[in-house]
Structure 1
Amino acid sequence: MLVKKNQNQFIFWITASCLIFTLAVILFTPFTVSYAATTQSDIISNLDTVAAQTPLQKADLLQTVGKIIKIFLDVLGIIFLCIVLYAGYLYMTSGGDPEKTKTAKAWIINAVIGLIIIFLSYSIVAFVFNALKENIGEGTYNITSTIPKGLGYNLSGSSFGEILSGHSPYPEQAEVPRNTMIVVTFKLPIDPTSFIDLTAPDVTTGTTIGYDVCPDALAKCKTGDCPETASVCGPVDKNAFKTYRCDKMAGWPTTTPLKSPSDCVDATIADPANINDVVPGFVMITQDRRTVVFNPFGNGKTTDDYLGSSEENVSYIVHLVGPPPAGAGIRKLEPVGTSVFSVPTSGLSGYSWRFTTGTFVDLTPPKVTLTIPKDQVGIDTDAIDGSLCDPEKDFNCPIAKVFRNQIVVANFNEPVLPLFSTDQTGCVANNTSNEAQLLIADGTKATGCAGTSHVPGNWITGINQYRTIQFLSTMECEGVTENSCGEKVFCLPADKDLNGLLKAAKITAEIAEIGTGIVDLAGNSLDGSGDGKADGQPADDFEWSFGVGHAIDLAPPAIQELLPRNNAQSVDKSVPIKVIFNKDLDAASVDTQIFLSGAGFANWFDPNIEAVDVDPVTQLPIPSMNIVNMSHGPFTEVNEGEEGPLYMPVIKAQLRDMRQNCFTPSRNVVPAENSAYELTSPTAIPESTATDCNDIGDKEYGKSCCPNVLTHKPTLDPLGGECAEPWGAEE
């Protein structure tokens, strides 16, 4: 009987755990909806209508079922405690009877086995939920754009950081030049035709913008003729990309109280009633279909053509339109006809933000502040930077040369328009007209290249608040299976000097031709010579050279310092969020792999590389590529003495360094002595926390380390605590 009883108990625990796991898998396995988008939107709209008539509240399905499972686990924990108490009672009252003692021990053993199964079930379910949440959240764009109150008016926030990787002007930016263009970058490709008025004429007539305003360097996107592999242009669709003055909004007070054009505070944001109040212009969409540039002043160059006023500041709203109806507004590239934004629960659909123009026009050309590698690094022994291998430490490094898997970077002192020609994988003749180029100095051709001496690869653009462009080779490294990301590694040509070229734009009738060279958001061509003037190409082309060796760096980056520190309390809301790494970072991955979440936080966030140095000669800001600074919308106001909400910056493992290696969260290093930020206490890093984690070899990516006091591994596990030695070490 005892054996049968024990078997029944064991079966009970197994069954309970399997039920939890099965429930999670059945409810949350991803599936594809084959119905038309209009049907899905109608269903959601009808459900929302019915829900509005009930006292029930909408809730996230993952969270709801998670709460149910948590309650079930709590009940099982109580049952476990009761079983242990009962077994203890049997043992204490056995009076030395061997049979009763055996029965009590059997109860305890089975209870412990059941508890272990419960813990394993919880771990599996948590893993499945996290995987599904990541898969459903970012990959599909189906993130509802919440509408927090903001600074006294309703603007959408959470889409910036979840759906968008950046835009300029940024939210609430003031003193924006009147001749600015508006740039928006999405995290995944979008349908270019959703931004373009396909009914527009070929030639501009009166106030009707035609295709003739598009730059000659860009292809025109028309119905049935929108080139898939080129950057494209067309008149803006004012029903999808709306830019308008605050005082043109529907319901704007025209009498008492009189409001100025820069005053949106206390006003409910609403699109203009008259479509003619939406700013006209043309849009340009990049080759990768992720970045959209809106030129609101056409190719005009007089003050009457620009935004705002020369006499007073003027605030503008930019509204990227979403459904309803389904398929309206901005759409994904795939699946065709699917809206980028989800149906909102209230307020404007899609995403919107505000900026304010000043009274001035920007006529200052952009300049290059930094290249990585720097000019002559790996060629001249006096030129040194962090891209060089160390002959005393690194394998295959007889002399100091640039690592082969180095990402090439150019940084500017202000935002510039994204590159409209980014692909040089084919090494073809038209690559010579690209705005940015990387070539083999001696004129030889890379493997697979028959046309030119260009290095096969792609330029990555629209990153780090549009101040940075990067080049990544598409040539696979020989003799390397994978990096810490578990992916292939791509290399520059070995033992070659390379030449980088950033072209200034062609200038015709005092106007820089977009698509022919580097141009800032105000349309000023690159000042490559540094003389303060935009002379156009070739006088203002910027060139530099560096030497590549044989060494390949496979060590992943690690955190040196967190500000505020993990578990910090009573943090002032004005304190910046910063993360300092031990290696320079890939700015493109910073844009896409760092997030900010928090209790009740539904505002915008924007992680970028921080500029903390100034060039002593040019006085231009130089970015510190190992420091991430996270800009964000306002945190929740908390009265003195009250407990504020918890905020959690999240750094994903796909964050990469400048040599394509993925961040490994379990690796941490003690902050460098020359850290850019002073520690608050000289005893902030006790010697006991300096574990042997610093000595992890390049191949030991999976070894977990005990974090030091500055870099605790973020965890929601209340049982987690500090350790005296690396996690996973044998007892």
Structure 2
Amino acid sequence: MLQWMQRKFFLILKAATITTVVLLAVFCLPDLVRAQSIVDPSSTLQTGVAVISQPLGLPATDIRLIVANIIRIALGLLGIIAVALLIYAGYLWMTAGGNEEQIADAKKFLINTAIGLAIILSAYAIVSFVISKLTDATGDGGQFGGGSLEAPISENFQGSGALGKIIKDHYPARDQVAVPRNTKIVVTFRKPIKADSFIDDTTGDGIFGNCKTTVENWWNDCDHVKNISDNLINIKRADNNEKIFGAVALTSLSTENGVAGIYTILIKPITDAGSANGGYLGSATEPLAYIVRLGSGMLLDDPANSNPSVFQASILGNNYYEWKFTNSTALDTAPPSVESIFPDADTTEDKNSVLQIHFSEPLDPIGIQGKFNAAAGHFVLDGGNIFLKSDNSTLPQGNFSLTNGYRTLEFTPSQECGKNACGNKIYCLSVCDKPGANCSQDNYEVLLRAARTINASSFESLPLSGIADLAGNALDGNKNNTPNSAPISLPVFPNQKQPDNFFWGFKISDKIDSSTPFIQTILPGKDGENITRNQELSMVWSKRMRADSMYNIGIEEKPAHQVPIWKVPFTLFNPNNTSYTRINHGPFLDAIRQYYFPVVSSSVEDLHFNCFYPGKGPSRPVGAGTVVSPDCDDVNPQNCCQVISALNKSLCCNGAVGTVASACLDYLRQNSL
């Protein structure tokens, strides 16, 4: 009997040992296999999560990983219990001493434990299968695909909500890479700012944000940021928070919505005060990332409201704004050039036209914004770098602004001359209004003065001497990639019509263009689903559009968030006179069910101040396997929502003709379940 019991004991012990090993293999090996693709702190997933969660104060763990680990732990505990029950059943059998009732109990424990173990293993297999399919559906290869999970996002970055709100635009862009080391930084606000709240009048001339007439050394000859700090303006390395030495701050006066003030600031980082050029960001041997922070100490120029802070947390989610960009190891030595113009050279346009010049890269805004002033035989812009001449027309009223990512100059007339189909004002250039003029159209000429180069072999320019890019390279007016020095003698026309200045002529007629633009395609299209977080948001217009009006395109969110999604538009102009507008944006949230409603209002206009009414836009849902709307145009009218009747049918609401914009948004919110 003893020999039989020993044999049974060893059989049970062997079975328990094998079961334990199997359970350990089942519950531990998958984690080891997944270690690199799921929980390795150095993996792509964990690195990405750290970037997202650090500003939020949240755990740096994917919610899917949390759920998966909880399930695995629970099943693991059940497995341990099953092993304990097997051992207990063996103990009962061993100590039965021939007691048939105790042996029967032991058999029951063994059978029930085996059934339970089978259920546990099946449950684990099902859970693993479901999790793998979920991760595959969200773009992860899991342990089978060799990829890494992309952490879901439930909130946009803290400190980003101001972009698209009080901050209109900035350069470098958010998360831009390969930024030249010799770049300057530009920020444009939607409201006038109080320059003396963050700039020291280093030059002592009573003006905050300028330089001496001749700049021999940036640090010695220009106004400074008061201090490099989080409260005002900070520029620091992203890896070790090391601040730069200092910064020059220049301002550009312009008029927005009829209000004159300082909307744009240019920041020249100073890393070497002893160098004439102020030194460069980054390193010549490796790319380096920088964080720019604008703090609550910067004030609005709003004395009626006691000059409040630019950043209000109740509106923007935070009382500061910050973004990151990464420098390359190289300097920018390539010159900017003109890519397209409106009106085109030697063409005739109606008087309700915006003058538009689109460049190959972002420009330095100093000296190319503001209004025209009368001079001998021509008109000259504030700053002395843009000139205009007409034969029989008076001084054009209006304002030149650098917009569209600092790549497009637009002169917007301010002389009201009617209303468009949406009831908004249209504005006109002066035409044949000089005393004694007897004409129906007039000749116009425009000249852009290139910055003066430091020598004949380089496009590197003297500071503030003319039109240049943000690295200080002078305009290459004739695109021959060779520096040319145009004369500066008077009269401007014709003496300065030489490279590298850029100049052209056109005619303006005493007529008004009232043809309306429409949207040809949108991306994502109507009712697009399963949109990725970085999905392109764009539209194609039937006409050449006013780039600055694209900043009025909005994005409504449901549910709303404390930190709104950041957004900033960029428009390209096609040779066929259509326009492509892309709305750069923060990541669409994907950890929750989230709805987005792009809103293109009547304030979005073409270059003749026409809104898209009467007009049309895409109406049909996206097709299978695509997120692009079907084309809406004259060839495919069946794909269009057409607003062509009376003003009581004034908009397209998710592809259908509607009446009131607020009612449309309410409807969309209520039906987004």
| TM tier, smaller | 0.5 to 0.7
d(CA) in 1 for partners of 2:155, 2:651? 45
Offset of 1:469 from its aligned partner?
0.5
* Aligned twin of 1:85: none
How far residue 420 of structure 1 moved from its aligned partner, in angstroms, is 2.5
2:448 equivalent in structure 1: 502
Matching residue within 651, 655, 661 for 2:610:
661
Instruction: Give me the whole-angstrom Cα distance separating, in 1, the residues matched to 2:325 and 2:480.
Output: 31
Matched, 1:242 2:234: yes
Residues 300-315 of structure 1 mapped to structure 2, 5 A cutoff:
305-315=279-289
Q: Judge conservation of contact 1:190–1:290 (CA < 8 Å) in 2.
A: yes
Note the residue ranges of structure 2 that are not aligned, 5 or more in a row: 1-150, 216-220, 255-261, 432-439, 488-498, 620-625
| Aligned: 1:464 with 2:404 | yes
Cα distance in 2 between the residues matched to 1:567 and 1:678: 9
Q: Which moved more, 1:586-595 or 1:311-320?
A: 586-595
Match of 1:16 in 2: none
- CA distance in 2 between counterparts of 1:291 and 1:656 reads 23
Instruction: Answer yes or no: is the 8 Å Cα contact 2:299–2:307 preserved in 1.
Output: no
Q: What is the CA–CA distance in structure 2 between the aligned matches of 1:304 and 1:515, rounded to whole Å? A: 15
User: Structure 1 residue 296 and structure 2 residue 269: aligned?
Assistant: yes
Q: Structure 1 residue aligned with 2:567, among 603, 606, 630?
A: 606
Partner of 2:337: 367
Following the alignment from structure 2 to structure 1, what is the Cα–Cα distance between the partners of residues 515 and 316? 47
Matches within 5 A, 1:571-610: 571-595=531-555, 597-599=557-559, 602=563, 604-610=565-571
Taking the aligned partners of 1:404 and 1:233, their CA distance within structure 2 comes to 40
After superposition, the Cα gap between the structure-2 partners of 1:648 and 1:190, relative to the gap in structure 1 and judged at 3 Å, is: same
Alignment of 1:328-407 (within 5 A): 328-334=297-303, 335-343=305-313, 349-378=319-348, 402-407=349-354
How far apart are residue 541 of structure 1 and its match? 0.2
Q: 1:212 to 1:287 in 2, by over 3 A?
A: closer
Q: State the alpha-carbon separation in 2 of the partners of residues 683 and 409 from structure 1.
A: 27
Is the contact between residue 165 and residue 606 of structure 1 (CA under 8 Å) also seen in structure 2? Answer: no
Displacement after TM superposition at 1:361 (Å): 0.5
Is the Cα contact below 8 Å between 2:605 and 2:612 reproduced in 1?
yes
Q: After TM superposition, give the deviation of residue 654 of structure 1 in Å.
A: 1.5
Over residues 208-253 of structure 1, what are the superposed CA-to-partner deviations in whole Å (9 max), with x where a residue is unaligned? xx999925289xxxxxxxxxxxxx962112241111112442xxxx
Residue 631 of structure 1: how far off its partner (Å): 0.7
Is contact 1:668-1:707 (8 Å) kept?
no
Query: Counterparts of 1:211 and 1:340 in 2: how far apart (Å)?
Result: 17
Question: Within the alignment, does 1:634 sit opposite 2:567 as a pair?
Answer: no
> How far off is 1:647 after superposition?
1.4
Given that residues 608 and 629 in structure 1 are in contact (C-alpha distance below 8 angstroms), is that contact kept between their aligned partners in structure 2? yes
Is residue 202 of structure 2 the alignment partner of residue 216 of structure 1?
A: no
Determine if contact 1:156/1:603 at 8 Å carries over to the other structure. Answer: no
Q: Within 5 Å, give how 1:24-63 maps onto structure 2.
A: none
1:625 CA drift (Å) = 5.6
* Equivalent residues in 2 for 1:55-134, closer than 5 Å: none
TM-score, normalisation: structure 1: 0.56
List per-residue Cα deviations over 1:44-95 (Å, max 9, x = no partner).
xxxxxxxxxxxxxxxxxxxxxxxxxxxxxxxxxxxxxxxxxxxxxxxxxxxx
Alignment match of 2:466 (pick from 511, 517, 528): 517
Contact 1:505 1:536 in 2 (8 A): no
* 1:491 CA drift (Å): 2.9
Cα separation, 1, equivalents of 2:306 and 2:483:
42
User: Which letter does structure 2 place at the counterpart of 1:318?
Assistant: V
SS at match of 1:576: coil
Residues in 1 aligned to 2:268 and 2:279: alpha-carbon distance in whole angstroms: 11
Amino acid at match of 2:609: Q
Secondary structure at 1:286 match in 2: strand
Alignment-derived partner of residue 177 in structure 1: 180
1:226 alignment partner in structure 2: none
**CA offsets, 1:373-420, max 9 Å, x none?**
111123xxxxxxxxxxxxxxxxxxxxxxx1110111000011111142
Contact 2:225-2:233 within 8 A present in 1 as well = yes
Aligned-partner Cα distance in 2 for 1:472–1:464: 14
- Confirm or deny that 1:648 pairs with 2:594: no
- Please state if 1:528 is matched with 2:517: no
Q: Distance in 1 between matches of 2:368 and 2:634?
A: 48
The 1:561/1:710 distance shift into structure 2, 3 A limit, reads farther
Find the partner of 2:525 among 519, 541, 565.
565
Q: CA deviation at 1:702?
A: 5.0
3-state SS of paired residue (1:287): strand
**Root mean square deviation of aligned Cα:** 4.3
Distance in 2 (CA, whole Å) between partners of 1:625 and 1:435 is 32
8 Å Cα contact 1:321-1:330 kept in structure 2:
no
User: What is the alpha-carbon distance in structure 2 between the residues aligned to residue 304 and residue 437 of structure 1?
Assistant: 27
- C-alpha change, 1:333 and 1:623, in structure 2 (3 Å) is farther
The DSSP-based 3-state class of the residue aligned with 1:560 is: strand
For 1:567 and 1:212, the matched residues in 2 are separated by 48
The SS at the match of 2:503 is strand
Q: Could you say what secondary structure the match of 2:164 adopts? A: helix
Structure whose alpha-carbon radius of gyration is higher = 2
Deviation at 1:656, TM superposition (A): 1.8
1:584–1:658 CA contact under 8 A, matched in 2? yes
**Which amino acid letter does the alignment assign opposite residue 471 of structure 1?**
F
Matched AA of 2:294 = L
For residues 291 and 233 of structure 1, do their structure 2 counterparts lie closer, same or farther at Cα, with a shift above 3 Å needed?
Answer: farther
Match 1:546 to one of 478, 481, 506: 506
Measured against aligned partners, the alpha-carbon deviations of 1:624-661 in whole angstroms (never above 9, x if no partner) come to: 763221111222234xxxx7311122223222211112
Residue in structure 2 matching 1:161, options 158, 164, 171: 164
Q: Which residue of 2 aligns with 1:491?
A: 429
Shift of 1:186: 0.3
Q: Which has the higher strand share?
A: 2
Q: Is the partner of 2:347 in helix, strand or coil?
A: coil
Greater shift in the superposed pair: 599-608 or 343-352: 343-352
| Correspondence for 1:417 among 359, 364, 372 | 364
Which residue matches 1:187? 190
Secondary structure at the aligned position of 1:161 is classed as: coil
SS of 1:524's equivalent? coil
Residues 679-709 of structure 1 deviation map (CA, whole Å, 9 limit, x = unaligned):
676999998947894756xxx5554466695
The total of aligned residue pairs comes to: 470
Aligned counterparts of 1:166 and 1:472: Cα–Cα separation in 2 = 19
Alpha-carbon deviation of 1:162?
Answer: 0.8
Letter matched to residue 293 of structure 1: L
> CA 1:365–1:332 in 2, change beyond 3 Å: closer, same or farther?
same
SS at match of 1:512: coil
Report the CA distance between 1:592 and its aligned residue: 3.8
Q: Distance in 1 between matches of 2:652 and 2:247?
A: 56
Tell me the CA shift for residue 167 of structure 1.
0.3
Q: Which digits, 9 at most, give the CA deviation of each residue in 1:446-475, with x for residues without a partner?
A: 34x5xxxxx3432122x1111000112334
Trace 1:142-161 onto structure 2 (pairs within 5 A).
155-161=158-164
Which consecutive unaligned segments of at least 5 residues does structure 1 have? Answer: 1-147, 204-209, 219-231, 250-271, 323-327, 379-401, 450-454, 614-621, 672-676, 723-731
1:507 aligns to what SS in structure 2?
Answer: coil
- Structure 2 residue identity aligned to 1:578: S
- 3-state DSSP of counterpart to 1:589: helix
Distance 2:414 2:531 in 1: 44
Counterpart CA distance in 2 for 1:153 and 1:707 is 27
Separation in 1 of the partners of 2:226 and 2:578? 38
Residue 590 of structure 1: CA displacement?
0.9
Q: Distance in 1 between the 2:381 and 2:328 partners? A: 38
Task: Quickly say closer, same or farther: Cα 1:592–1:283, change in 2 above 3 A.
Answer: farther
